[in-house]
Amino acid sequence: MNSMTGFGRAEVKDKLGKWTVEISTVNNRYLELSVRLPRHYASIEPRVREFLGSAVSRGKVNTYVGVEELNQSPEDYIINKNAVRAYVRQLDELRGELKLAGDLTIADLMSLPEVVSPCSAELDLELVWKRVGKGLQRAVSQMLAMRAKEGRAMAADMRKRLNILVRIVRQIEKKTADSVRTYAVKLTARIGQLLESPICDSIRLEEEIALFAERTDITEECIRFKSHIEQYKAAMGAKDPVGRRLNFILQEMNREVNTIGAKSADFGISSDVISLKEEIEKLREMVQNVE
């Protein structure tokens, strides 16, 4: 069982430069990929997405790829003269409109977007992918390790809460048996007080007690609830993503608890039902971050 929260970072260095890959993931109902690449490497984005999709099944995945190129000569770049002219014209108009002081320099222009770009003919995309892919693999490995570690911590906490649920259900089962006996005693005493004489129609009294017992019987609900707990534990040990399955099991648990609460005529059981719901809600909060 893995968490959906993780982070990984990797650097790949060679004679051409330093490639940096950062991946962060958070919980999300589905798989959502966000990829940021240098503009002139945008054509490898589908391959990046395919790689990420094969590693992660759920969560919002934010990926950043940056490059610091070395040993570049001026001939490796192109200045977009049309973009420069457009910037100069619009900046001059803005300076006059706002009455701004100062001169526009070449350095200012070179830092603006789309002004300088590498020669596309010089780009070897297969070589680029080889380096980016290596960085991705390392960063993803770190991220998955972090998700697995957090998943183990959550699983340990979940097992503790599942044991609490089992203990509370056993208490409810015992209180249910006691509540029928308590009701029989109270009903007998109350009827005796009203009639001011010994009860003669014991058959009618037994029928009333039997009706109460049937109406408040939660044996099946408790059995199903404990079965859901076993299913939950089994799902936690699966290698495949289990977040959706765990969430579904919690819904079924909550349904059984609601039925138990509706059938209960005992204050102690009602209090236990509230405790069950509290523990289920804590599990649900954790499950929202399970892949």
Q: Which residue has the higher pLDDT, 176 or 193?
A: 176
Give me the chain's average pLDDT, please: 82
The pLDDT score that the predictor gives to residue 41 is 83
Write out the DSSP string of 57-79.
SSEEEEEEEEEEE-S--GGGEEE
Does the residue 55 lie in any domain?
yes
Quote the number of domains for the chain.
2
Does the residue 280 lie in any domain?
no
Does the residue 62 lie in any domain?
yes
Q: Which of 114-123, 136-145, 261-270 has the lowest mean pLDDT?
A: 114-123
Q: Which of 12-26, 83-97, 134-148, 234-248 has the lowest mean pLDDT?
A: 83-97
Does the residue 212 lie in any domain?
no
The pLDDT score that the predictor gives to residue 204 is 59
Distance of alpha carbon 120 from alpha carbon 246, whole angstroms: 49
Q: Are residues 65 and 87 in the same domain?
A: no
Q: Which domain holds residue 95?
A: 81-110
pLDDT at 30 over 70: yes
Does the residue 245 lie in any domain?
no
Distance of alpha carbon 263 from alpha carbon 216, whole angstroms: 5
The strand pairing partners of 290, in sequence order, are 3
Q: If you average pLDDT over residues 103-107, what whole number do you get?
A: 76
Q: Are residues 99 and 12 in the same domain?
A: no
Distance of alpha carbon 250 from alpha carbon 233, whole angstroms: 12
The two three-digit tokens of residue 216, written as one number:
């408040």
Query: Are the C-beta atoms of 43 and 27 separated by less than 8 Å?
Result: no
Q: Are residues 11 and 68 in the same domain?
A: yes
Q: Are residues 52 and 136 in the same domain?
A: yes
Q: For the chain, give the percent of residues with pLDDT over 70.
A: 79
Q: How many residues does the chain have?
A: 291
CA of 133: how far to CAs of 13, 41, 60, 61, 199, in Å? 13, 13, 20, 16, 87
Query: Are the C-beta atoms of 11 and 135 separated by less than 8 Å?
Result: yes
CATH code for the domain in which residue 29 is found: 3.30.230
